[in-house]
Structure 1
Amino acid sequence: MRIALVYDAIYPYVKGGAEKRLYDLGRELVKRGHEVHLYGMKFWKGSDTIIIDGLTLHGLCPAIPLYTKSGRRSIWEAFYFGWHCIKLIGEDFEVLDCQSFPYFSLISCKLVCLIKRKPLIATWIEGWGWDYWRSYLGYLGILGYWVERLAVFLPDRIISISLHTSEKLKRLGARQKIETIPVGVDLDLINKSTPSSKKSDVIFLGRLLNFKNVDILLSALKEVKAKYPSLRCFIIGDGPERENLESLVRRLGLTENVKFFGFVTDQTKVFALLKSSKIFVLPSSREGFGLCLIEANACGLPVITVDRLDNAAGELVVIKKNGFVVELTAEAISEKILHLLKNPKDLSEMKKHSIENAKRFEWSGIIDKIEQVYR
């Protein structure tokens, strides 16, 4: 099949769970003999069309910032990319899979598919709903909410990456069949990676955004440091909150304990850093799935995540097996970190369960299910 995948942000130029999932999906489909084209904003120099890892990347328009200075997704960028998605009318494809967010691209893709008489599949990473829109945009949230509700009715078929998101889509009014298909992980690459010489006790991987709650993790580390002065924590990722977080590290007296790596472009180096750590902490209030959690499990790390309404990562945790789900407080997070550091036997046992849990998300079985939806 000739498959078109559409999303404004393209990995590896933008590093996030949704971007990485789409890129890895494309690579796996190429391995199956499909011709895969990934359409997004142009983050690279040179030709508008390039080929990487067998994927044909198309820059539909020059890249503009995804986020405002306040760390929120830019509404203007959503309009901008959505408008340029009309250009897909001149492209040749058998099936189009558009990532639902930021919605306006989905509207353009629907128009394109109607004209070309092609099926439109939409992949939903997360559903927001009224409560989240209201907290995110205040009174303007009503506009975001109704755009999201409209978007739900546009695709012919929907792929949701978690049961959490599937339930939200039903509440938003989705009537199509929803296929719940989780994100896959590249276990071969992870298994080939060797631990880094740089060691840490705790590690975080993800964008440095407000809702990731890295500030609460840092507060928890201050409590842990009282009993483990040589505590080491690695923060992998970048984002609008980095400057604030670095300032908080200084105020908390954690300068010698916390290292910020920024974006690590080489995935094998990310896995190497994960394998050289002991505990993965994901204190995010909002996750459509939690790919980094599964990658951490595959590297042998038990995880600590938080019990929040919009955090689907909690679905991936079997308590005391591959991790813990706790309240979003520094006290609750530090308690579990301390427990694992004090009990190496528990840590070792959970490492085994974590690696076993990750095997459920190997790409081969997941690609089988996605191919069925595309056909």
Structure 2
Amino acid sequence: MMTRRGLSILLFYDCLYPQSVGGVEHRNHELAKALAARGHRVTLAGFGDAPQELAPGVVTLPLAPAGPLYSAAGKRSTGAAVRLAAGAARIDLRPFDIVEAANIPYLHLPVLAARCRLRGKPFVVTWHEYWGRYWQQYLGATWPVYAAIERLTASLGTRALAVSHLTASRLETRRHQEVLVIPAGIRTRQISEAAATGALESGPPLVYAGRLLREKRIDLLLEAVARMSPARPGPLLAVIGDGPDRERLQELAGSLGLLAPTPRVTFLGRLATATDVWRTLGAASVAVQPSSREGFGMFPLEAMAAGLPVVYCESSESALGELVEPGVHGLRTAAQPEALAACLDRLLDDPAGINRMAEAARRHAARYDWTTVAADTERVFLSLLSTDS
């Protein structure tokens, strides 16, 4: 009979937090700690240099030394995906009761699916995005190859989960079965406390946090800031994070006159800890996410927990509408510099509106605490193991 405690769980992905600070590895890190707090043993496998104990019951298992995950063009590297698939072929699965992997970067999925099937172990694939024809916009001429890989791997796994209803609905058309939605979570209490400390400090009223990638459309945000009311004093925007697009974005900010003589934008780079990020959020008034593609939206959700309304740009590839209800938790606007600038100016001129949406955002974000997410994930794992038994 399957007990409710003591599972040995493998979470498999190419990146390990905090060496890398993307949304999936952050999610795996926090989920592992929350599952360990429920009495399970969790191993995080990915690229890294040496095994570590991240918390009681949580260890890392390096598959190979960390290397570049992105090409010179800022796209996901096929070579890194092949390296991860090789790691999936080598890893010893015997110690684990259940194996979970992110869908990205795909090539590891058939390897793990075949090996788990041979050993009779449940294999859960968590889908953070399903791109479909978006591959054409992302890659150009070679897109049909990658779209076919995504389509073929969609059927793999004993069970598929999705972090958003947008991804679940797309995946269900390929799997022909219901896909359960379990969103990522956040540390609501810690975010709230850090943000309250940050609120005692002065900072730019607008903030963005995340990887600096082309699809995040930070260039659109910079163009919008350049068009905002010149009557607003001091820096308007703090940009937290790093990535392959940083140099281009800084050059653009310079050409728009946002760096001198009076700085309007501050590039803070990657901050040392998550607490530092949350403090910086607390010093701002509005979070901005202009991204063209968001499978979930970890930064907007953390910003909401910090008491910030979220302004985001329309996109058919974004699940942010599931998190942020326009007019309640923030605002939605067209993905155009003029429209975004007007939206931000209007909101900053409405402190009562900011306060109202901030309170609603904080209450909404509380539903996504990691304790709830871990309990939902545990139920799925136990149900699969019970079925196998």
Determine if the TM-score, normalized by the shorter chain, exceeds 0.5: yes
The answer to whether the Cα contact below 8 Å between 1:134 and 1:142 also exists between their aligned partners in 2 is yes
1:261 to 268, 272, 289: 268
Structure 1 partner of 2:180: 179
How much does 1:354 deviate? 1.2
Question: How far did residue 70 of structure 1 move?
Answer: 0.5
Contact 1:158 1:176 in 2 (8 A): no
**Given the alignment, which residue of 65, 76, 79 partners 2:79?**
76
Which TM-score applies when normalising by structure 1?
A: 0.96
Deviations 1:315-344 (A, max 9, x none): 211111110111101111111211121111
Q: 1:234 aligns with which of 238, 256, 272?
A: 238
Say which of 263, 279, 293 aligns to 2:286.
279
Contact 2:12 2:44 in 1 (8 A): yes
The equivalent of 2:248 in structure 1 is 244
Q: Residue by residue, what CA displacement relative to the aligned partner does 1:87-124 show, whole Å, maximum 9, x if unpaired?
A: 22354100000111101111221122022110100000
Q: Is the 8 A contact 2:125 2:157 kept in 1?
A: yes
Pick from 113, 117, 128: which aligns with 2:120? 117
Q: Is the Cα contact below 8 Å between 1:225 and 1:231 reproduced in 2?
A: no
Which whole-Å deviations, capped at 9, do the CAs of 1:169-201 have from their partners, x for residues lacking one?
123x11344110111110121122121635111
Quote the residue 1:189 is aligned against. Answer: 190
In structure 1, distance between residues paired with 2:15 and 2:40 = 22
| 2:3 alignment partner in structure 1 | none
**2:133 is the alignment partner of 1:126:** no
User: Are the structure 2 counterparts of residues 135 and 338 from structure 1 closer, same or farther at C-alpha, using a change threshold of 3 Å?
Assistant: same
2:107 partner amino acid: F
Of 337, 344, 347, the match for 1:340? 347
Instruction: Report runs of 4+ in structure 1 exceeding 6 Å deviation.
Output: none
Which of residues 95, 118, 132 is equivalent to 1:92?
A: 95
Contact 1:293 1:303 in 2 (8 A): yes
Q: Quick one: which of 26, 37, 50 aligns to 2:32?
A: 26
Match status 1:6 vs 2:6: no
**Contact 2:204–2:234 (CA<8 Å) still a contact in 1?**
no
Which moved further from structure 2: 199-208 or 185-194? 185-194
SS state at 1:295 partner: helix
CA deviations over 1:249-303 (Å, ceiling 9, x no partner)? 1111111121111111311110000001011000000000001111000101100
**Matching residue's letter, 2:372:** G
TM-score computed with the length of structure 2 as normaliser = 0.92
Say which is worse superposed, 6-15 or 259-268, in terms of deviation.
Answer: 259-268
Amino acid at match of 1:214: I
**Take 1:264 and 1:282, find their aligned partners in 2: how far apart are those partners?**
18
TM superposition shift of 1:137: 2.1
- 1:318 is paired with a residue whose SS is coil
In the alignment, structure 1 residue 370 sits paired with structure 2 residue 377: yes
Corresponding residue number in structure 2 for 1:139: 141
Supply the distance in 2 between the matched residues of 1:315 and 1:332 (Cα, whole angstroms): 22
- Contact 2:182–2:376 under 8 Å retained in 1: yes
> Helix, strand or coil for the counterpart of 1:355?
helix
1:97-112 equivalences in 2 (<5 Å): 97-112=100-115
SS of the residue 1:139 aligns to? coil
2:386 — aligned with what? Answer: none
Structure 1 portions without partners, runs of 5+: none
Q: CA deviation at 1:230?
A: 2.4
On the 8 A contact 1:159/1:180 being kept in 2, the answer is yes
- Letter of the 1:204 counterpart: Y
User: For the Cα contact (< 8 Å) 2:225–2:236, is it kept in 1?
Assistant: no
Alpha-carbon distance, 1:206 to partner: 0.7
1:226 deviates by 2.1
Contact 1:306 1:314 in 2 (8 A): no
Alignment correspondent of 1:35: 41
Distance in 1 of aligned mates of 2:177 and 2:328: 35
Between the two proteins, the alignment pairs up a number of residues equal to: 369
- Measured in 2, the distance between the counterparts of 1:146 and 1:314 equals 28
Matched residue of 1:325: which SS? strand
User: Whole-Å Cα distance in 2 between the matches of residues 265 and 174 of structure 1?
Assistant: 41
Q: CA separation in 2, counterparts of 1:175 and 1:79?
A: 28
Secondary structure of 1:230's counterpart equals coil
